[in-house]
Amino acid sequence: MTRVHVSETLVAGQALELPPAAAHHVAQVLRLAAGAALVLFDGTGGEYDAVLETVERRSVRVRVGAHRAVERESALCLTLAQCVSKGERMDYTIQKAVELGVTRIQPVLSARSVVKLDAARWAKKREHWLGVIASACEQCGRNRVPELAPAVPLSKWLATRHGLCLVLVPMAQVGLRTLARVSAVSLLVGPEGGLSEDEIAEAQAAGCTAIHLGPRVLRTETAGVATLAALQALWGDLG
């Protein structure tokens, strides 16, 4: 069943025009015709049955049907504080984090971050990431859209974070299995070149626990995803 995220609040019985990107996907990529069924969600919870009323090249209108209180959220609240990586690496991390049930994504700027943009380009990058998140929700069946926080320097995020915080450090002495079960976790992952020694020390001074995933050093786009999967398997809803 085709799933489409709509940013406006949905109401059963209303007729609406799909946003341009969704309309293009439905009409030009999937080539669905009038009368086809699909599912809509607005990110606030639950989903709506819907039917295509008209399908034109540049306009697709749907009729919203009944609301179904379907949720696929994990009871484990996960925040991924990911130091910004380049291009497709960051896209991959965000996409897979959403699929793995992350609650909040916090882009972080660190000493070795290679992405450096002005305010206008950061705004454009944020819009792109929001699109990645929405598409991932469409694919994996989530009806609540994870929060995307504005990118901030590492020190600023450390000053405001709370609860159990884990920071990935390849040479750390602590593994996930040694930790006591909790219901909320923040995970800090370094950029391509890793966190500096000073940044690791700053994170630990702020209360973060340094952990390792095993004997191999993972790339930045792999490390966060692998850790989220392990946390969901240990304390969440995987397996």
| pLDDT of amino acid 64 | 97
What pLDDT, in 10s, does the model give residues 52-63? 999 987 789 999
| pLDDT of amino acid 1 | 83
| pLDDT of amino acid 128 | 96
- Go through the domains of the chain in sequence order and give each one's CATH number: 3-68 (2.40.240.20), 77-235 (3.40.1280.10)
| pLDDT of amino acid 87 | 84
Q: Percentage of the chain surpassing pLDDT 90? A: 85
Residue keyed to tokens 């009729």: 63
Does the pLDDT value for residue 175 go beyond 90? yes
| pLDDT of amino acid 130 | 96
Neighbours of 190 (CB within 10 A): 27
Mean of the per-residue pLDDT values of the chain: 94
SS3 at position 122: helix
| pLDDT of amino acid 66 | 96
CA angle 136–137–142, rounded 5-degree value: 145
What pLDDT, in 10s, does the model give residues 16-36? 999 998 999 899 899 999 999
Across the range 224-238, mean pLDDT stands at 97
Single-letter code of the amino acid located at 168: L
For residue 27, give every residue at least 6 positions away whose Cβ sits within 8 Å of its Cβ, in sequence order, or none.
Answer: 55, 56, 57, 60
In Å, the largest CA–CA distance within the chain is 60
Does the pLDDT value for residue 39 go beyond 90? yes
- Compute the chain's Rg from CA coordinates: 20
* Per-residue confidence band for 178, with pLDDT thresholds at 50, 70 and 90: very high
What pLDDT, in 10s, does the model give residues 114-162? 888 888 888 999 999 999 999 999 999 999 999 999 999 999 999 998 8
List, as one string, the DSSP characters of 125-193.
HHHHHHHHHHHHHHHHT-SBPPEEPPPEEHHHHHHH--SEEEEE-TT-S-BGGGSPP-SEEEEEE--TT
| pLDDT of amino acid 57 | 78
Give the C-alpha separation, 25 to 16, whole Å: 16
What pLDDT, in 10s, does the model give residues 186-224? 999 999 999 999 999 999 999 999 999 999 999 999 999
CB of 115 closer than 8 Å to CB of 85: yes
